[in-house]
Amino acid sequence: MRVLRKFTIAVSLSIWAAMLAGCSLPLLENRTHSVALTTEQAQDTRLGRAIAAQLSAHAGLTGIDPLVDSRAAFAARVNLARAAQRTLDVQYYIWRNDLTGILLLEELHEAADRGVRVRLLLDDNGIPSSLDEILAALDAHPNIEVRLFNPFAIRRPKATGFLPDFSRLNRRMHNKSFTADSAATIIGGRNIGNEYFGATDGVVFADLDVLAVGPAAADVARDFDRYWASASSYPARQILSPAALDRLDALGQRARKLQWDPAAAAYVDAIRETPDVRELLESTLPFEWARTRMISDDPAKVLNRAPPTTLVLSQLREILGDPERELDLVSPYFVPAETGTRYFTQLASSGTRVRVLTNSLEATDVVAVHSGYARRRVELLNAGVELFELRRSPHNSDSNEESTGVLGSSGSSLHAKTFAVDGKRVFVGSLNFDPRSANLNTELGFVIDSPELARRIESIFSTLGPQLAYFVRLDSNGNLYWLEQRGNAVVRHDTEPHSAWTTRLGVWFFSILPIEWLL
């Protein structure tokens, strides 16, 4: 028995050692050096020339075009890729191997065939292993370079890598940007996948991006360089196995086949009919011109080496200060934790109106995250914070709206990350108000000085909220209840609306676990 035990231990140690060896990453040597276009080079492109007169008339300001509709947001990316002449710099947390993901990869491929230099930087946790061969094939193209941020050495199954290397792999690049010729960029909350562009019968995310030109777009291009050259950015050829020579041809064939699929018809039409980029090239796009400041985490945050002053929340506090009149916040994953709860309750107690819209339990796609929010609700409400929770299903039979702006449809799950301060300034980006965004992941966004955009955020609470969200309240005994407006009637729920008791049990169970810092 003792010999068998020693043999078992030896085998286990050998397996563990093999896993550790397999999890080691290659040295970052001989990476190619590349940078975004200079201001002068960007101006000498079709996009640069198209916006030159408007930039001159609005010196120092950034042109902002909100992309609320999901299909229009997809089409804007496609059309921006087609408009690029020299460079495309593309950075995402999630990229799906689905209809919209494949169509956009083929757009990058076609741009490279035209001579555009394409740099694609993807967080490795957000891409399925089924994309490895396609990404390797793209990386082999002479005009495309693919890099994987904070990669997994073990490719299948990736989750195995968490066992020996959790502290590193738990930190991710959550940034999202799509930049053409360093002149125009799309940033916001959307990843690349069917659920972000409304191309699925399952959960559809209601989200918000902005198309931007001017100083902030140039800042995004330079920030991409910082991530591209960071110590967490690995050339795909060092991580992925070489692809078959005909793999790019197969990508093109699959994309063309998808374009003829009836499911893609609305997206092919949107590419043709969405006017934003076309109007941009014609110098007729009605931008909102505003002072806009980009905020972005130091990529060294993923290695736990970033100074506190370089983190997004620190930058936000420095730019915004404390709200004086009101704070309207939209966040799909709202986990204020102890520090955030203290901040919001102090604001509300001092007379600042604080309104928060997040997902209800029925609308969320991550029950564990909802538990981190649920445990703080009573304290927030007691201090005067107003809570609204987006409904998932169209319970109101009189409702026939297909789209309601940032909230999407009443069958959506909220994914937009935005807030307005004092009716003057707006944040749009990738930042969730949770410990993961604050401490673990890197984030990117814009602070935009725009009363017009701030009014749009305020209208979510005053106009759209009653249509599509529950109002969360406390009764005289300190118990939670939810109010749902159905036509002219108001329905009261004394438990999380339209949720199963097993789901509520799961929320309770997660709420007692010491995992809030992970959420």
Q: Which residues are catalytic?
A: 174, 176, 181, 415, 417, 422
Rounded CA-CA distance 381/388 in Å is 11
Residue holding tokens 């110098």? 283
The residue among 287, 253, 255, 247 whose CA lies nearest residue 271 is: 255
Q: How far is CA 508 from the centre of its chain?
A: 27
Beta pairing class for 326-330 and 418-421: antiparallel
**Can you state the angle between helices 265-273 and 70-83, rounded to 10 degrees?**
60
Q: How far is CA 342 from the centre of its chain?
A: 26
Rounded CA-CA distance 342/234 in Å is 39
DSSP 128: -
Cis previous bond, 157, omega within 30? yes
- DSSP string computed for 232-270: TEEEHHHHSPPPPTTHHHHHHHHHHHHHTSGGGHHHHHH
Rounded CA-CA distance 68/418 in Å is 12
Beta pairing class for 144-149 and 117-123: parallel
What six digits make up the tokens of 67? 């992309």
Residue holding tokens 């520090």? 339
Torsion over CA of 387, 390, 394 and 395, rounded to 10 degrees?
Answer: -30
The residue among 408, 409, 340 whose CA lies nearest residue 375 is: 340
Sign of CA dihedral 151, 154, 160, 161: negative
Beta pairing class for 386-390 and 353-359: parallel
* Whether 99 contacts 255, CB under 8 Å: no
